[in-house]
Copies of this chain bind each other. A is one copy, B any other.
Amino acid sequence: MTKAELFSQIKKKSSFLCVGLDADINKIPKHLLKEKDPIFSFCKEIIEETADFAVAYKPNIAFFEALGTEGWETLQKVLELIPKEIFTIADAKRGDIGNTSKLYAKAFFEKMDFDSVTVAPYMGVDSVTPFLEFDEKWVILLALTSNAGSMDFQLIKDEQGKPLYQTVLEKSQSWGSDENMMYVVGATRGELIGEVRKVVPDHFFLVPGVGAQGGSLSEVAKYGMNSTCGLLVNSSRGIIYASEGTDFAKVARKESEKLQIEMKDLLEKYL
């Protein structure tokens, strides 16, 4: 998918919502466990009910990988369910030396047909660029994550006082462009999103941490939005596990619509 196509979706739906498919067999409604493939049934209903309000879906690959080969089959089937105009993110946090990263890229971009994959930066340029060699496919590079451990290394300042995440942003900008690279920027620190936006004016950010992890959507929009929106805000648990009953998909619909309405206002305010 191109950046223009993504932005077009955002405008059409007045939404920059990404629904995270953290499909956990221990958390999905119990009535689904009698289905042949409970995770597939769960994702299918979630997608059907939220597709009107979402511009992206982000399957968390670990949740499928943990189920073994059957999990990979389920992931493939789930991916095929997602309407073509919606951006898909393989949240896999991959990254290895060149020939190996190329194989991960093939797994997600050719064997499966994801639009993007999340990649960890620690191994540097040759672990990231193999993912950038595919037309209309995207790398979403970890910059500033929303977990507690993000403080361990990402905020370490170098001899010039520059935090590591900023060096990641600066160096990686020359590896790709805002047409094939995005950044993961956690929502739990509103003002830091503004710092990141100064360094990276044009790129999209994938923003986790809104909702369950405590981030504020209005802060994210205030500090992070740019002229092509530039934001995909992810919500997982707050949508997909909003109800444990047979009404889970309808409740997910309501929760995603609530976010979309809030996003519509923010788009009108800042775009």
Contact = CB atoms under 8 A, between A and B. Distances in A.
Interface of A: 22, 24, 60, 62-63, 65-69, 72-73, 76, 91, 93-101, 103-104, 106-107, 111-112, 120-128, 142, 145-154, 156-159, 161, 164, 167-168, 171
A154 B22 CA distance: 31
B111 A124 contact: no
A123 B150 contact: yes
A120 B93 contact: yes
Contacts of A159: 157-159, 161
Nearest to A162: B156
B100 A60 contact: yes
Given A124-B153, A125-B152, A147 B66 contact: no
A99 B157 CA distance: 28
Contact of A164 (B63, B145, B150, B156): B156
A71 B125 CA distance: 27
Contact of A124 (B73, B112, B126, B151): B151
Contacts of A157: 158-159
Nearest to A168: B153
A148 B125 contact: yes
B120 A149 contact: no
A169 to B, nearest CB: 12
Nearest to A142: B122
B164 A152 contact: no
Q: Nearest 5 pairs between A and B by C-beta?
A: A124-B149, A124-B152, A62-B103, A66-B103, A126-B149
A121 to B, nearest CB: 6
A156 B153 contact: no
Contacts of A153: 121-122, 124, 164, 167-168, 171
Given A62-B100, A153-B121, A164 B164 contact: yes
A63 B104 CA distance: 8
Nearest to A110: B66
B149 A111 contact: no
Given A152-B124, A153-B122, A157-B159, A147 B98 contact: yes
